[in-house]
Structure 1
């Protein structure tokens, strides 16, 4: 691979990372109360991207391109998972409002997103069940390779995953700091409602397009 091709690929990845997608909104959802779960979700999503890169490098992702059924099934599962995350977030927010006094509610909001493991898992699953990631690697990566090999394909996948991870970590940090500065329960509730609603809408849209 030439240096010019590598720089072109990096530039493309940076531009694409600036376009919000399901993973970005997922990171935002987990970053509202604390940056750490959001960062965990970002790392999980990057790991999912690396798995896709590995799959594409092995040639398995070609099946998705040729099999409409496999593509739709994977897309359907991913959409249902996003819908589940959005609905669960809305239900959790409603339970917190019924928790009683303001102190109990605040404690509930602080504890709910503190599960770094669940945020990491959500990031991995969200990316793994997004077939567009695999098809992106399958269609785009070979254009930047003078020789398509397992190692070269995996290397470009690692670069793309790293750039996406950096962007999503920045989103997590900035989102958590913005909420910390505001420190208004009403604003936090609105942000949680908005992020959960976006996830649910993305899930519905994905399921509808797959069906």
Structure 2
């Protein structure tokens, strides 16, 4: 695999990442509670990309391409998970009484929860699987084994981790302004609504 091919693949991975989606929004949301939480979310998303690479390498992800039912099932599951995250965010806001910014970061999301949200959101996003199915084979040299696919999966995961980590730093930099009580209350409501809208839209489009 030539260096030019790897660089071209990196460019395509970056294009995939900069396209707004659930993972981008999740990283930004968790970054409100600190850059570290955002980076952990990004790490979970990057691991999710590796899971998809492994699925493609062993042929499991091809089921999405051949079976509309399988694609819809994954899409619905992903949509329902986003709805769950949105509802959970809403109830967390209600439990705080809509008050000031969460003084304890764990009140909004623990590091484990942030990692899990990034991982599950990516694993239940069939568009990531289709990206690997459609794009990766074009960069895998003829006769290469599973290792080449996993290597490209690692490249995609690395690009995702770097981009989303930078995004989390940007989000965390805005904390001083965001943590104003009025702004925090508004963002809690908006984040709950957006996550739910992502989920409902995904479920509806699957039909």
Question: How does the TM-score come out when normalised to structure 2?
Answer: 0.92
Q: Is the 8 A contact 1:83 1:201 kept in 2?
A: yes
Q: Does 1:209 align with 2:173?
A: no
The alignment's C-alpha RMSD in Å is: 1.7
Q: Verify: 1:34 aligned to 2:34, yes or no.
A: yes
1:120 has 2:115 as partner: yes
**Does the 8 Å contact 1:179/1:188 carry over to 2?**
no
SS of 1:97's partner is coil
Question: CA offset at residue 88 of structure 1?
Answer: 1.1
Residues in 2 aligned to 1:61 and 1:4: alpha-carbon distance in whole angstroms: 27
**Cα offsets for 1:8-42 (capped at 9, x unmatched):** 11111122221111111111121112222221111
Q: For structure 1, which runs of at least 5 residues remain unmatched after alignment?
A: none
Matched, 1:184 2:180: yes
Q: Which residue of 2 aligns with 1:53?
A: 53
SS at match of 1:20: coil
Write out aligned runs for 1:59-98 (5 A).
59-97=59-97
**Which of 128, 131, 138 in structure 1 is aligned with 2:133?**
138
Q: As a proportion of its length, which structure holds more helix? A: 1
Structure 1 residue 149 corresponds to structure 2 residue 108: no
**What corresponds to 1:161 in structure 2?**
157
Aligned length: 206
TM-score (norm 1): 0.90
Mapped to 1, the partners of 2:80 and 2:103 lie a distance apart of 26
State whether residues 52 and 128 of structure 1, in contact with CA within 8 Å, keep that contact through their aligned partners in structure 2: yes
What is the CA distance between 1:107 and its match in structure 2? 4.7
**1:31-68 residue CA offsets vs partner (Å, 9 max, x unmatched):** 11222222111101110110110110111111111011
Deviations 1:62-111 (A, max 9, x none): 1111011111111111100001101111121122126xxx6xx4456633
Name stretches of at least 5 consecutive residues in structure 2 with no aligned partner: none
Q: Is the 8 A contact 1:44 1:122 kept in 2?
A: yes
Match of residue 174, structure 1, among 170, 174, 199: 170
